[in-house]
């Protein structure tokens, strides 16, 4: 559930009409709803009542400081995948002891910074990485608490580009080598083995792949404990999907996910970490755009809007479906549009043959479910200014990342001296 919908015939973000924000900010822009963010955070926490549980929000889904701070105030931890994200999480007030550091290849500098800050856990993905972490920690006189990310070789049944738990994917250590790798790591002087980590993919709409992977974790934990390791933390990753197409996708609810986790993992008596990203922020954000032109092609109508693939790349990168909704309610006849952006790429297409009420130049539309992997993946391709972000709370809104000016964008480039001497 989210807080974007029609009131008196016009889309509102919480208590604000979109047209009002668009009038002040200009289009395109991302718009986030505080109430939706908080609701999603609480829904997840309610799915793990009474458990020794920490939600580590996956910062890469949406790393705006205002979004992070909203979640931090609710008590959220963070899952980061780079030194930059770690700095963002700390800057937003998420305490180091609630932060886990994931990612395939952390550098020595990133490790040193994380050790200095005293994060809760490194999720390590290779033998080479644990050896490097040991070396860095030793040189600082610290001990690094770790979990290994296990690659359970299960099919997450999601888009190939966001499936991460198959043996052919680059992520994690193979389950078959886990016991040996844990034994070797436990012998390293600056490493403390405390957990097992897993993350099999994103936008999962079925609980079964999770359950299959978690069952493999349970038997591994049994073996590791028998080998003498003190395994007290299970990081189950993120990945729970959201209904991008609300008419046809019904992903499992966090409550059902939580019950499944408790059934399978509960008996181990571990601290449970989960790292949802998309589920917290996806439906808490929309992309608002204006129609520039309507163009009649040979056999189809193009709705050309002022947002493009540089602002929201998911449709062209993942063939992602996003609902598109006119800002003003209409009961007129439906028209089939290809909804496209102005960029010089055929991939700059948000939707094909989408049935929408008739729209004209200047009309506002909202692209739904754009809060996750939207703004964070945006670029300035075609020298289009980075899309601004707005956070709404009740009847208030704030620009939480402004649109850069053209001078700011061009000013980032540097002319070498030899070109300057005219
Ligand atoms: C991306 C990622 C997540 C979050 O995935 P969602 O599908 O957004 O919930 C969690 N953990 C790790 C390690 C990730 O890479």
The predicted model scores a pTM of: 0.96
pLDDT of residue 254: 96
Domains, the chain, ordered by start: 4-31+282-410 (2.40.37.10), 34-281 (3.20.20.10)
pLDDT tens-digit profile of 262-275?
Answer: 999 999 999 999 99
The catalytic residues are: 344
Q: Which residues pair with 122 in a beta bridge?
A: 101, 146
Distance CA 409, CA 202 (A): 33
Expressed in angstroms and rounded, the spacing between residue 109 Cα and the centre of ligand 1 is 23
What is the phi/psi pair of residue 168, to 5°?
A: -80, -10
Distance 351 CA to ligand 1 centre (A): 25
CB 249 within 8 A of CB 322: no
Per-residue pLDDT band for 420 (boundaries 50, 70, 90) equals confident
Q: Compute the mean pLDDT over every residue in the chain, rounded to the nearest whole number.
A: 96
132 CA from centroid of ligand 1 (Å): 24
Question: Quick check: CB of 17 below 6 Å from ligand 1?
Answer: no
- pLDDT reported for residue 125: 96
Q: What is the DSSP string of 158-170?
A: S-GGGB--STTSS
167 vs 39, more confident: 39
Residue to mutate (ligand 1; options 47, 54, 58, 149; most atoms within 8 A of CB): 58
**Residue 276, ligand 1, Cβ within 6 A:** yes
Measured distance CA(79)–CA(356) in Å, rounded: 38
Instruction: Tell me: pLDDT of 421 over 80.
Output: no
Whether residue 202 has its Cβ less than 6 Å from ligand 1: yes
How far is it, in rounded angstroms, from Cα 57 to Cα 376?
A: 15
| Average of per-residue pLDDT across 215-226 | 98
Task: Tell me the CA–centroid distance for residue 263 and ligand 1, in Å.
Answer: 22
C-alpha separations of 420 from 255, 406, 408, 410 in Å: 62, 21, 19, 16
Q: Which of 18-27, 158-167, 240-249 has the lowest mean pLDDT?
A: 158-167
Cα–Cα distances (Å) from 89 to 39, 82, 85, 92, 283, in that order, read 20, 11, 6, 5, 21
Q: Over 80: is that where the pLDDT of 170 sits?
A: yes
- pLDDT reading at 422 higher than 70: no
Query: In ligand 1, which atom is closest to the CA atom of 197?
Result: 13
Closest C-alpha among 152, 95, 92, 143 to residue 122: 143
CA dist., res. 197 & res. 162, Å (int): 17
Measured from the Cα of 373, ligand 1's closest atom is 8
Whether 363 lines ligand 1, by a CB cut-off of 6 Å, is: no
**In this predicted structure, what is the pLDDT of residue 329?**
96
Q: For ligand 1, say whether the CB of 278 is within 6 Å of any of its atoms.
A: yes
Q: Give the pLDDT band of residue 97 (cuts 50, 70, 90).
A: very high
Cα 311 from Cα 121, distance rounded (Å): 33
pLDDT at 407 over 70: yes
102 lines ligand 1 (CB under 6 A): yes
3-state secondary structure 96-113: HHHEEECCCCCCHHHHHH
pLDDT tens for each residue of 51-69: 899 999 999 999 999 999 9
Q: For residue 12, report the phi and psi dihedrals to the nearest 5 degrees.
A: -115, 145
Q: What percent of the chain has pLDDT over 90?
A: 91
Angle at Cα 199 formed by Cα 137 and Cα 201, nearest 5°? 140
Query: Distance, CA 276 to ligand 1 centroid (Å)?
Result: 6
Atom of ligand 1 nearest to the CA of 204: 7
| First CA to last CA distance, the chain | 60
Q: Residue 328: is its pLDDT beyond 70? A: yes
- Residue 239 CA, closest ligand 1 atom number: 7
Give pairs for 402-408: CB < 8 Å, separation 24+. Answer: 403/25, 403/26, 403/29
- Phi/psi for 375 (5° steps) reads -55, -35
């Amino acid at each position: 559930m989210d807080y974007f919908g029609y009131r008196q015939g016009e889309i509102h973000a919480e208590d604000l009409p979109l047209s009002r924000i668009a009038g002040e900010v200009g289009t395109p822009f991302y718009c986030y709803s505080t109430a939706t963010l908080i609701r999603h955070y609480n829904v997840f926490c309610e799915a793990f009542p009474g458990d020794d549980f920490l939600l580590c929000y996956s910062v890469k889904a949406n790393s705006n400081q205002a979004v992070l701070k909203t979640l931090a105030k609710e008590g959220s931890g963070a899952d980061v995948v780079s030194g930059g994200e770690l700095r963002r999480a700390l800057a937003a007030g998420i305490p180091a002891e609630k932060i886990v550091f994931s990612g395939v290849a952390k550098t020595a500098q990133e490790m040193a910074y994380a050790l200095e800050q005293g994060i809760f856990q490194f999720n390590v993905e290779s033998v080479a990485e644990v050896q490097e972490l040991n070396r860095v920690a030793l040189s600082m006189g610290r001990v690094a608490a770790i979990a290994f990310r296990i690659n359970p070789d299960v099919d997450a049944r999601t888009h190939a580009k966001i499936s991460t738990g198959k043996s052919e994917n680059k992520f994690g250590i193979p389950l078959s080598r886990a016991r040996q790798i844990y034994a070797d790591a436990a012998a390293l002087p600056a490493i403390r083995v405390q957990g097992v980590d897993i993350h099999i993919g994103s936008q999962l709409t079925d609980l079964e792949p999770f359950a299959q992977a978690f069952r493999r974790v349970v038997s591994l934990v049994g073996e590791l404990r028998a080998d003498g390791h003190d395994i007290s933390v299970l990081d189950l990753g993120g990945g729970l999907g959201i209904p991008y197409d609300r008419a046809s996708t019904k992903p499992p609810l966090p409550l059902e996910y939580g019950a499944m986790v408790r059934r399978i993992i509960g008996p181990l008596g571990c601290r449970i970490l989960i790292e949802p990203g998309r589920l917290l922020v996806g439906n808490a954000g929309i992309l608002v755009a204006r129609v520039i032109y309507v163009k009649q092609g040979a056999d189809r109508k193009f709705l050309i809007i002022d947002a493009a693939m540089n602002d929201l790349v998911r449709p062209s990168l993942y063939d992602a479906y996003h609902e598109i909704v006119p800002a003003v309610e209409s009961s007129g006849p439906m028209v089939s549009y290809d909804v496209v952006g102005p960029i010089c790429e055929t991939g700059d297409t948000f939707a094909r043959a989408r049935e929408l009420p008739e729209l004209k130049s200047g009309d506002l539309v909202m692209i739904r479910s754009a809060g996750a992997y939207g703004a964070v993946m945006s670029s300035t391709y075609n020298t289009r200014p980075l899309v601004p972000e707005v956070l709404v709370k009740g009847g208030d809104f704030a620009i939480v990342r402004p649109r850069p000016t053209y001078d700011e964008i061009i000013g980032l480039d540097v002319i070498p001296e030899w070109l300057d001497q005219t």
